[in-house]
Structure 1
Amino acid sequence: MPARCIAELRVAAEKKAYPLRINAAVLEAMQAWSEDELRSLNSQIEYVLRDALRRAGRLKPGKVEPVEDPDD
């Protein structure tokens, strides 16, 4: 199996599901933003969270590799 496929499987295995309760207006805005960016809603939420964590110094560069959502 190519190294890239192994890495993708490893990253996919590290993802965890988390039920999210979110305000309806925020959800609608995130959905519209995700469509503008050509991402799934899940990928957009993860992107925004990752960016906020990085800016706050809570997530070190290279700690989380950006991975495309399999639904995209």
Structure 2
Amino acid sequence: MAERKAYPLRINGEVLDAMQRWSDDELRSLNAQIEYVLREALRRAGRLKTPPAAAPDDEG
């Protein structure tokens, strides 16, 4: 697993409240939700390497 680093974040109160509601809906901590949203945005933008797909099973 990658090293985790602390980073202070300044964020608009309205955005923070919306993220908190979303994280509550998804049963995640606010920190985990922010990381999830950032990771998805990076992946969609092609800026985050995705892990290689698992090899297909020999069955079949």
Are residue 38 (structure 1) and residue 34 (structure 2) matched? Answer: no
Q: Write out the 4+ residue segments of structure 1 that deviate beyond 6 Å after TM superposition.
A: none
Aligned pair partner of 1:48 in 37, 40, 47: 37
Percent identity, aligned pairs only, is: 77
CA deviation after TM superposition for structure 1 residue 17, in Å:
0.2
Unaligned runs of 5+ in 1: 1-10, 64-72
Q: How many residues align?
A: 52
Question: C-alpha root-mean-square deviation of aligned residues, in Å?
Answer: 1.5
Q: Which has the larger radius of gyration?
A: 2
Unaligned runs of 5+ in 2: 53-60
CA deviation after TM superposition for structure 1 residue 22, in Å:
0.1
Q: TM-score, normalised by structure 1?
A: 0.68
